[in-house]
Each structure stands twice: as C-alpha cells, then as structure tokens.
Amino acid sequence: MDQFAPLLFLGAIFAGTIGTLTGMGGGVVLIPMLVLGFGVDLRYAAGTSLIAVIATSCGAALKRRQNLSNLHVGVFLEIAAVAGAVGGALVARDISKAVLEGLLGITLVGSALLALRAPDVAAMAPRGGDLLELAGAFDDQGMHVEYAPRRIPAGLALMGVAGLMSGLLGIGSGALKTLAMDLVMRLPLKVSTATSNFMIGITAGASAAIYFRQGFIDPVLVGPVTLGTLGGAVLGAWMLPHLSTRW
C-alpha cells in the first residue's frame, strides 16, 4: 500500500475540500475511493475515514473565526449524535459486510442527492424565543442575518440517526446533520454547513476510539489520508465564505 501513498494523499485532498464545502466530512468520497479504488476492507476503510473526518473538522475550524459556526447548537445536538455514534460503532463488528455495504450504498446516494439540493432561502429565520440560547447572527455579503433554530426535538432525533450511521459506516454523516439543521431546524445553509463541520469531528472521535480498540485503524492508510484531508479541509474552509449559497 506504500506505493499508493501519493494517490491516497491526492484523493484525500479532494475529499477534504468537498467534505468541508458541503459539511459532509469527506467520508462519502474516501470510503468508495478506498474500497473500490484500492481494495481496502470496508471496516478498515471506515476506521481510516473516521480519522480523516476528524482532520476535516479541525481544518474547517478556520470558519469559526468568521462567525459561521454556531457552537451552542453544535454542542447541544452532539448529545444525540455521540450517543448514536457509540452505539453504531459497538454493533458494526457484528453486522455482516453485505448489510454494511448495502447501508453504505444507500447512504452515499442519499448524501449525493442532499448535496445537490437547492438551498432553502427561507431557512434564514428571524430571532424567536430562545430559552436554550441557540440563536445567532452573521454577516453574509453585506447583509446581517439573524436566525433562531426551530423544531429542535426533530433535529435532535435526526442527529441520533446521523450518529448511528457514522458509527456503523465510518462517515461523518454530515449530509444528515446539514439536512437536520438546514431543512428541519431552519438554520441558514452556511451556518448549518459550518456547524456540521464542527460536529462531525466530535461524532467521528467517539466512533474512532472504538474502531481503534477493535484494531480497524491502519497507520499505513491513516497517514497519507489524514494529511491530505487536512490540507483539503483548510482549502475548503478558505473557499466557503467566498461562495454564494446558491453554488
């Protein structure tokens, strides 16, 4: 596998960039690349992807300096996401590879469709009642946007599902998280994307610890993939504030 390190590195740069721009974490690109392109076992690919998702989240931290990420929303929703991730990682080893591959295929198709959806302009909602102090504001291309999350219980439930899929498949489940915040909780698209990038690292960290203990993290794979993903995430973090929400 050492001879493929440069290709792994380049592919990981692409995955990190796409993962940061979409809030999906890059796992939806990395796992098919590792399994189909390099013949890596799905469980080892999942373990590698989880480490790469953490790198994506760290690289995407640049956006927090631009006030796009809502840390209060992210930390609150991670209660459900981490619980789901731990549960998924614990049972993943006992599920057949065929079932995991089927779930992965469905998840990849769904993530692609969600990434291609038109952004919901109505998501930029004005402030409302905010007992949990989850409301926020940011400046976007000359406009000052204030927002407050809606339908919080439904968003919390979706986060639990996203965490479960992350633990089972080794992805960040950023598509589900962005969906929950954008379409269900009615947060602005850039906020949901940036907050998802912050959250996926926490979710992946919970799952990665279990995958590591089970022996499904290979340093030979993790090294070039993590470095490439981190570089791509930094590039994506620089690009996101300059893009229109209609990209």
For 210, the domain range is 2-242
Give the per-residue pLDDT at 84: 92
Helices (H), 60-96: 71-92
Q: Which residue has the higher pLDDT, 107 or 112?
A: 107
Q: Is residue 91 part of a domain?
A: yes
Is the distance from CB of 188 to CB of 147 less than 8 angstroms?
Answer: yes
pTM: 0.78
Amino acid identity for residue 214 in this structure: Q
Average of per-residue pLDDT across 155-171: 88
What tens digit of pLDDT does each residue of 9-68 get? Answer: 998 898 888 877 776 667 778 888 888 888 888 889 989 988 988 887 777 666 555 567
Gap between the Cα atoms of 13 and 19, Å rounded: 10
Give the per-residue pLDDT at 86: 93
Q: Is residue 101 part of a domain?
A: yes
Joined tokens for residue 183: 């379409």
What tens digit of pLDDT does each residue of 191-236 get? Answer: 887 888 788 888 888 889 999 999 999 888 899 998 998 888 888 7
3-state SS class at 143: strand
Q: Is residue 247 part of a domain?
A: no
Q: Is residue 116 part of a domain?
A: yes
Is the distance from CB of 204 to CB of 67 less than 8 angstroms?
Answer: no
- For the chain, the domain total comes to 1
